[in-house]
Amino acid sequence: MPRTDTPNAKPARPEVPQFGLYGEQTRGENAEFVHIELIETRSRQHHWHIEKHTHKGLFQVLFLYGGDVRASVDGELWECCAPCVITLHPSVVHGFDFSAEAHGYVLTVDQNVVFAVAENHGDLYSSLFVEPLAIDLSDQPALHSRLESLLKNLLTEAAWPQYGHTLMLEWLARSALLLLVRLHAEHRMADQSGRSDFELFSRFRAEVERRYKEQWQLSQYATALRVSPTRLNRLCLKLSGKSAFDITQDRLMLEACRKLTYLPASIASIAYELGFQDPAYFSRLFKKRMGLTPKAFRGG
């Protein structure tokens, strides 16, 4: 009998299974564009081991809130501890080995949800999925809490569909993704500008939020932050493209716009509330920066 193998033949590479959700070969025609489940729901069925696979047309985000995971991501081994987030685009070959105490959420989002906002907002979510990411949440307790609230709402909505069900799932999913986009952007800015500069800029923004109604001068902010006014101004220009003064004025005008839009109070009352002693000066400043008088902005 002739031999069917040859000395130089290479062993066939095993095919990587392609799933809708893990273990499900296809997606139903009426499948929702957003799916969420607890990590433990599917992982426990597979003894905490998820074989390597991909998801055609589906973006996936793993929110690990307890325990740890050994993740195989495109041939690399990542060892991640909670709390963290792992993002995966459709072609990434991935598999997981979770610890028995692992818990959290797996959010799976159809490509239509990810790209639907591109027309008006560009590739808003692209930074999360250009390459796989492992995002540490250990120093982000407030963000951790906001994300978990959104994910719990997603679980509730998925379990009990009501009027506007599909839209609600998509809005909640996009909100969670957008919070991650913000965090990732902050990390990139910190890496590019230097961690100490970014922390100083963040402290300045927080101080502006506390003091803008008092209309502090640049020198007062600099004193509070223990830096020179020149350094603070250069830092703001470097990281935001705006002077420190413009940042404080932008915050003041944002609040003025909010109050003019939503409060029935007089323009003079709003001026006093924002720290202006002269309502006429407030009106002139508002027109200079916004292009309209407060009265015209209100439509009156």
Answer for the pair 149, 113: CB distance below 8 angstroms, yes or no: no
Question: Which pLDDT value is given to residue 29?
Answer: 43
Identity of residue 115: F
Closest-CA residue to 64 (of 31, 28, 97):
97
Q: What's the chain's average pLDDT? A: 85
Answer for the pair 283, 246: CB distance below 8 angstroms, yes or no: no
| Prediction pTM value | 0.66
- Ranges for all domains in the chain classified under CATH 1.10.10.60: 195-298
Distance between CA atoms of 43 and 63, rounded to whole angstroms?
A: 14
Question: Which pLDDT value is given to residue 246?
Answer: 94
Mean pLDDT is lowest, of 19-28, 123-132, 210-219, for 19-28
Question: Which pLDDT value is given to residue 188?
Answer: 79
Q: What is the mean pLDDT of residues 27-50?
A: 79
- Ranges for all domains in the chain classified under CATH 2.60.120.280: 18-192
Superfamily for domain range 18-192: Regulatory protein AraC (2.60.120.280)
Question: 244-262 vs 195-211: helix axis angle to the nearest 10?
Answer: 40
Give yes or no for residue 30 having a pLDDT over 80. Answer: no
Give yes or no for residue 17 having a pLDDT over 80. Answer: no
Q: What is the mean pLDDT of residues 192-200?
A: 76
Q: What is the mean pLDDT of residues 98-112?
A: 92
For a pLDDT cut of 90, what percent of the chain falls above it? 58
Question: Which pLDDT value is given to residue 44?
Answer: 86
Distance between CA atoms of 263 and 244, rounded to whole angstroms?
A: 28
Q: What is the CATH number of domain 195-298?
A: 1.10.10.60
Sheet holding 68-73: strands in order across?
18-19, 49-55, 94-98, 68-73, 76-81
The 10 Å Cβ neighbour count of residue 221 is 23
Closest-CA residue to 285 (of 265, 270, 300):
270
Mean pLDDT is lowest, of 26-40, 80-94, 100-114, 153-167, for 26-40
Distance between CA atoms of 175 and 194, rounded to whole angstroms?
A: 28
CA 143 to chain CA mean position, Å: 9
Distance between CA atoms of 247 and 291, rounded to whole angstroms?
A: 17
Answer for the pair 129, 87: CB distance below 8 angstroms, yes or no: yes
Question: Which pLDDT value is given to residue 179?
Answer: 95
Mean pLDDT is lowest, of 4-8, 121-125, 151-155, 204-208, for 4-8
- The dihedrals phi and psi of 56, each to the nearest 5 degrees, come to -65, 120
Question: Which pLDDT value is given to residue 103?
Answer: 95
Question: Which pLDDT value is given to residue 199?
Answer: 81
Give yes or no for residue 154 having a pLDDT over 50. Answer: yes
Give yes or no for residue 276 having a pLDDT over 90. Answer: yes
Alpha helices in 24-121, H assignment, sequence order: 39-43, 111-115, 118-121
Question: Which pLDDT value is given to residue 213?
Answer: 93
Question: Which pLDDT value is given to residue 27?
Answer: 47
Question: Which pLDDT value is given to residue 1?
Answer: 34
Model pLDDT for residues 251-275, shown as the tens digit of each residue: 999 999 999 998 889 999 999 999 9
Residue 122's pLDDT band (cuts 50, 70, 90): very low
User: If you compute the radius of gyration of the chain from its CA atoms, what whole number of angstroms results?
Assistant: 26
Mean pLDDT is lowest, of 18-32, 46-60, 114-128, for 18-32
Question: Which pLDDT value is given to residue 62?
Answer: 96
Model pLDDT for residues 228-252, shown as the tens digit of each residue: 999 999 988 887 888 999 999 999 9
Question: Which pLDDT value is given to residue 112?
Answer: 78
Mean pLDDT is lowest, of 83-92, 179-188, 265-274, for 179-188
